[in-house]
Amino acid sequence: MTTCTNAVLHPWLKRELGEVLAAMPAPSAGPDAGRRAAWERWQQDLTIVVTLPADPPPLRMLLVLDNLAGHKTPELVCWLFAHGVMPLYTPVGGSWLNMAESLQRILKRRALDGQHPTDTGQIIAWLEAAARHWDAAPTPFRWGGRRAARRRRQRERHRIGGSGACTRLPVSMRGVPNYGNGQAT
């Protein structure tokens, strides 16, 4: 399934989260004040702060969701809070998108280059297989690696127009005589 309504998504999400929470170690029995402080710490710098229950359960998981309205329904948010899950919503725009899109581009290239899928099921299966393969032997992901070094070296060469000529220092255009273009200098 590639799309679904909240009536389908929310029960599935609750079931999946329930399984994950059941597999986690039981929360420690800490004082109520410490539990509330843990929830409040994660809400500290949020632009939209959700009202916490009067007696929140131990915080067990942070769940990052996109900013769809369906992920913010009172019914879903109350269920998450009751189970010790703090929803954190991604910003609508920001530099994190560049990171996510870079990873998506890598997965897409590894899964789909040279392939000719005939339906969405194949695309999903190939992307999942590529992600499982990458997870089995992850390669380091470095921001500012070789590609950034190439771009920096390119900028340092100070190309002049489209000629391919390079200078060791930037060329100042002030005081350059204007030859042959018919305009007075």
d(CA 150, CA 144): 10
- Give the residue numbers spanning the domain of 112: 95-136
Alpha helices in 3-145 (DSSP H): 6-23, 32-43, 74-82, 95-112, 120-136
Looking at the domain assignment, is residue 59 inside a domain?
yes
> End-to-end alpha-carbon separation of the chain, Å?
67
Domain end point (choices 89, 122, 155): 89
- One digit per residue, pLDDT tens: the chain, 185 residues? 567 788 888 999 999 999 999 999 887 766 666 778 888 888 887 777 778 878 888 888 888 887 788 888 889 988 998 999 988 887 776 666 667 777 888 888 889 888 888 888 888 889 999 989 988 888 776 667 777 888 888 777 755 555 556 666 666 666 655 555 555 54
One domain for residues 110 and 74: no
Shared domain check, 25 and 46: yes
Backbone angles phi and psi of 137, in degrees to 5:
-140, 75
- The DSSP element (H or E) to which 71 belongs, if any, is none
The tokens for 33 are 């004040």
Examine residue 164 and state whether it is found in any structural domain, yes or no: no
For residue 175, give the H/E element and its range.
Answer: none
Q: How many domains does the chain have?
A: 2
Q: Is residue 162 part of a domain?
A: no
In a domain, 170, yes or no: no
d(CA 59, CA 86): 7
* Residue where a domain terminates, one of 104, 121, 136: 136
The answer to the question of residue 157 being in a domain is no
Helix (H, G, I), strand (E, B) or coil at 153: helix
Please indicate, yes or no, whether residues 50 and 110 belong to a single structural domain of this protein: no
Query: How high is the pLDDT of residue 151?
Result: 81
For residue 144, give Cα distances in angstroms to 149, 151, 155: 7, 10, 15
Q: What is the spatial distance between Cα 100 and Cα 98, in angstroms, rounded to a whole number?
A: 6
Nearest to 60 by CA among 79, 76, 80: 80
SS3 letters across 30-50: CCHHHHHHHHHHHHCCCCCCC
pTM reported for the whole predicted model:
0.53
